[in-house]
Structure 1
Amino acid sequence: MNILIYGTGVIGSIFAGKLAFSKNNVTVLARGKRFKEIKKNGIILTNPKTRKRECVSVHVIDTLLPNMEYDYIIVAMQRNQVDEILPVLAKNRSKNIVFVVNTAGGYDKWVDAVGKDRLMIGFPSAGGERNNGEVNYFVGKGLQRFFQTTTFGEYNGMKTERVKTLIEIFNHAKIPSVFCSDMDAWQKTHVALVTSIGNALYGYECNNFELGRSYEDVKDMVNGVKEGFQVLRKNGIDPTPKKLGWLNLPTPMLTVIFCLFMRTTLAETVMAKHCVTARPEMILLQHEFDKLILKSGERTPTIEKLKRNLHATKGA
């Protein structure tokens, strides 16, 4: 399969490496220092648990031209970076463009740029940290999938042959993946979840271990998530996927669970380190979710309290 990964941050690098290892013809679009790193050394992935280091060569470009056609273009970028590349994607003739991008604002701009027929939506269960050209990574497997699984869907909600093929490609690359018929609800649910978690972390300068030692602040985080889910319901959106129903457990029980989880290296990898690098994106996601809060008419005192952490962070 001929695949372009547009963006070579942590997620783009993980996707590029794993898809290339499974014998796909992978091209990545990168710029500046990252372009030079990949040109010289390829994609380098390190599993922090096993210390297994994987290296693979991929084709690298710094410009997407209209006549460069791929079976799939996978856009793996932060939400605040996407708008500027929409004109480039609009001109390209590839038929399947997959936005693996966090958003609670819907897909109107993406539809306007690439059209309903080309638009596909996804989101990863993966993460990590990039240092000196190498990515220390994780991919959501086993119990981690109880929280989140890499997920793909169509703009129209149909389970088409092209989305089934994409899921098969990712599963073959050992990135467990599933289909969702309502990616808009899925992503709005995800933003309801990660904004309260992220804002709680910002109150501790993204030190998840310190946050995990504060029962009261973790309780605020849990209550913020619950308020966010209620906002979704008031807007006619069922929290998605249904497996997140465990987040409806009583607040004291969830608080203990999250206190324990926050004191793990997994929480550091999948949550805290991302918050450090993604603050501009988190501000934009909070702004998008604020519109849903306003539309719902819900009172969200805990979310408002947590938001103060986001805007009080250094550099705000």
Structure 2
Amino acid sequence: MHPKKELEKGEMKVRDIMSRPIISEDEEALVSEVVKDMAEMGIGSVVITSAGKPTGIITERDIALKVLLKNKRADELKAKEIMSYPLITIEPDASVDEASALAANKRIKRLPVVENGVLVGIVSIRNILTLKPEYVKRFYPEVRLLASGWTLDRLERALSESEVCLAGNHLLSYKQRLKEVHNELCELVSYYVDDDELMGIFERLEQLYHEAEGIEEAEKLISVEEHRKRLDEILRKFRHITFLRKQQSISSFAGDLWLGSYRYRPGKELRLPFKRTRPSY
């Protein structure tokens, strides 16, 4: 079974999504050593320790603002002079929801994970949104979060199967497939509250679903024909939206947004961080 599906059976914990091993440096280390670590490892932050205990963090932003913009030499500064502190941490058994809320409230992108005073990992916004894209509004309120073409493609296939069942007068199978699509769409519209197109499809399908539940054997000759016509209209709209969003996701895959598969956004709007192939801290 896919690890994400396994995690979703229960409440996800920070330990399930954190990145490890974690790269750290002593507070007495030169900033040039920290920069070297970040360059060699391809990471965006290094946790700073004092006597083995995590006390601060240095990010690319710290280096840009506290070293480069102030024309200071990295080989003359110690890590403790530019690190961000006090360090905000979280325990590995905290829920992902708690981690998301803490990071959003403190307006930080990374949370070192500490267990019994020992640094065991780090969790980033990317870690969280990879498995919980519906949390994106907590970090980027201006972003319009829309369902991806790949999600819609799967639902369109299921809805097409229900059309085949209906065409073959297999009403029980038709109702079951329609119910499955309806229930998943109901969940999706609760996540993608800005997705007007998805809501429009859901409202039309919901009406069709409730009517299908009332189809009796004696009425099926009349009802089935009407249902096929309306289902075809819904599917045509569904396929149109799915195609456009899949095309947008494909075109943005190379060098565009790492959350591109989760939203379709025409025009110029707030863009999220670039996708990285390096570790997510």
Same fold (TM over 0.5): no
RCO (CA 8 Å, sep 6+): is it higher in 1 or 2? 2
Structure of larger gyration radius = 2
TM, length-normalised to structure 2: 0.28
